A and B are shown apart, each in its own frame.
Chain A
């Protein structure tokens, strides 16, 4: 695998220097922007990155605003760096299409692990033989990473796509939160980790806007989620 190229956006120059030193030593190519505006310009100018790491708290333009400007046009996977305890920031970030979050200050090893997990997931090794999954009105094409409902394309982030992919591969089975987190986010579930719940609820909302209020993904209290087999 060629060195991944990430875009690190944080207004703290000293921190970005240290982190890029650390990540470069681990074999990750790092480009640094010290403001969200600069990062936006670089992305709009056509620079290609495999992943973005955005800090939320930045002067002028916050990481969330940067993300808002990028979606849905750019499919760049994004990890948000949030202030700890800022649950609202996390949920907002995930809802706006971030793929994962990490609270700051954080151990750089954890940041590296998350970066690798998101990169693994963003470049899924999909064998050519995988066929299109169909379930009622929903059609999922893993090779094109495309969802069609009644032949209309549904915009899903990569994490949301993976959630639905998991469900459609296992209809009628209860998928626990920890299994979903491992398969979808490529990392293990931790306590107080609601990332997967947010992704699932986003998928629910997006599908519901097409097929109405039918309950396609059920919550099984204390166990996980269930994709109802014969719902549509």
Chain B
């Protein structure tokens, strides 16, 4: 997940930006309203004072003193205005329009502030102020950003939004962890009481999760128990049936087609029951914690297959000379491997080769890949292959339980299993198992 897609950052950034902009706008608007009038008044007052001085001097004795007043060189003047705006730039004209002070190129419509002034001698002058009474918004903002208040505002808004975010995001993350565990097969997992006690939507969600959890757990367990019980109960009548078939075989002779057929069907039924029971029994195998060597189990399995099907071309690619240790019950891995290999052999022609390879993945996991030279399966079927009772192309060679047993076994070993059509070959089924923490040197 990219960081900006996380709920934490989404909530945090939006809350933070909103609060920050609200604070800034408030400061600006309130400042504008309350200070504008005051500033204008002060500014006009100052301008009036300055104009009065200039006019008094002008009436008293010519222009010269004013020129001195305005300062020396242009540079000095501009510095003067920029750093110490004690002198407000003005333009003073007589009523007739004669300029007595200030720059010529200045038009009345540009002036933010203008007023008339009547001197002590009774003459009227019109005065225009060349500077905006309130300095630009930008510089005011700049000043604000640099001020201590702004830093405090920043810290406060960050803390507030962090707090808000944590309140929302933490329980959501916790809930997600529970859902992940649940999905991983720990059906007994329930949300902790502190989350349940919350009165808000998150608390409600947590309570709903618990209810859903119990429902799913009970349903799945019930189903499994039913399947197990039914299969178990079927075994007794099947054993009797087989004994009865044996008795009729004694009477009809061993060559009897009827008893041969009955024996075959009994055998099939018995295999189906076995597979259903072994699927249900996998969970109990997972409780046994031990360490096993993947390559040893693989070799045993291949030996068995070479023994039972010597005509098949079975090869193994294993360049790893050292033991590859994985945690869990080796029975689970054996079950998965034997089902995958059996599946490959069952669904390909006798002359098709089946190849097994063993590879380490960055020292953290091991991949066992079984590739056959058959026809492969359609893309849609690749996922369904692992569903119980799924039969590709409605074949009648099995019950469709082999690969689902393999998947469940591998999941119980905290590994992954997937199938794909390999280029130039048929189906490839890969098992990935995490390595045990301690490997022999």
List residues of chain A with CB under 8 Å of any chain B CB. Answer: 12, 14-15, 18-19, 21-22, 25-26, 83-85, 87, 104-109, 178, 189-192, 221-222
Contact = CB atoms under 8 A, between A and B. Distances in A.
Contact of B299 (A84, A108, A191, A221): A221
Q: Top 6 closest A-B pairs, CB basis?
A: A108-B246, A191-B308, A18-B243, A105-B239, A85-B278, A105-B238
A87 B270 CA distance: 16
Point out which of B244, B246, B338 has the most chain A C-beta atoms below 10 A from its C-beta: B246
Point out which of A21, A106, A189, A222 has the most chain B C-beta atoms below 10 A from its C-beta: A106
A19 B270 contact: no
Point out which of B242, B249, B308 has the most chain A C-beta atoms below 10 A from its C-beta: B242
B4 to A, nearest CB: 52
B303 A84 contact: no
A191 B278 contact: no
24 contacts: A12-B239, A12-B240, A15-B243, A18-B240, A18-B244, A25-B247, A25-B250, A85-B274, A85-B277, A87-B331, A104-B235, A105-B235, A105-B238, A105-B241, A105-B242, A106-B239, A106-B242, A107-B267, A108-B242, A109-B246, A191-B304, A191-B308, A221-B299, A222-B299
Contacts of B267: 107
Contacts of A189: 307
Interface of B: 235-236, 238-247, 249-250, 263, 266-267, 270, 273-274, 277-278, 281, 299, 303-305, 307-308, 331, 338
A222 B303 contact: yes
B68 to A, nearest CB: 112
Contacts of A222: 299, 303
A104 B239 contact: yes
Nearest to A223: B303
A14 to B, nearest CB: 5
Given A85-B278, A107-B242, A107-B266, A192 B247 contact: no
B151 to A, nearest CB: 70
A191 B307 CA distance: 6
A145 B97 CA distance: 144
B263 A107 contact: yes
Given A12-B236, A107-B266, A222-B299, A22 B243 contact: yes
A217 to B, nearest CB: 18
Contacts of A87: 331
Point out which of B239, B245, B267, B270 has the most chain A C-beta atoms below 10 A from its C-beta: B239
A107 B246 contact: yes
B138 to A, nearest CB: 82
B246 A14 contact: no
Nearest to A222: B303
Contacts of A12: 236, 239-240
B281 A84 contact: no
Contacts of A26: 250
Contacts of A15: 236, 239-240, 243
Nearest to B284: A88
Contacts of B250: 22, 25-26
